[in-house]
Amino acid sequence: NWQKLINRLAKRGWTQERLAKRCGAGQSTISDLVTGRTKQPSFELGVKLVDLSKSKIHAHTARVFWRRASRVG
């Protein structure tokens, strides 16, 4: 269930906006999955959400990583 998966990520600190940016989707797409307006994400988005849910990386850690990575490039 996509709603449960996204809600679990939210409990780990991921906002809908951050999830959307990280997955290359719009915040409204994430919101539609949470509310049930959209029942199934695209294959690509689904894979990215599942990967994030399996990851031990929390939102704070990811933000620090992306900030550092953006300085390097």
Q: For the range 36-42, what are the long-range contacts, defined as Cβ-Cβ under 8 Å and sequence gap of 24 or more?
A: 36/3, 39/2, 40/2, 41/2
pLDDT value of residue 44: 92
Using the 8-state DSSP alphabet, how is residue 38 labeled? S
0.75 exceeded by pTM: no
pLDDT of res. 27: 97
- Widest pairwise Cα distance in the chain: 39
Is residue 16 within 8 A of residue 34, CB to CB? The reply is yes
Pairwise CA distance, residues 17 & 26, whole Å = 8
pLDDT at 62 exceeding the cut of 60 = no
Assign 55 a pLDDT band (cuts: 50, 70, 90).
Answer: confident
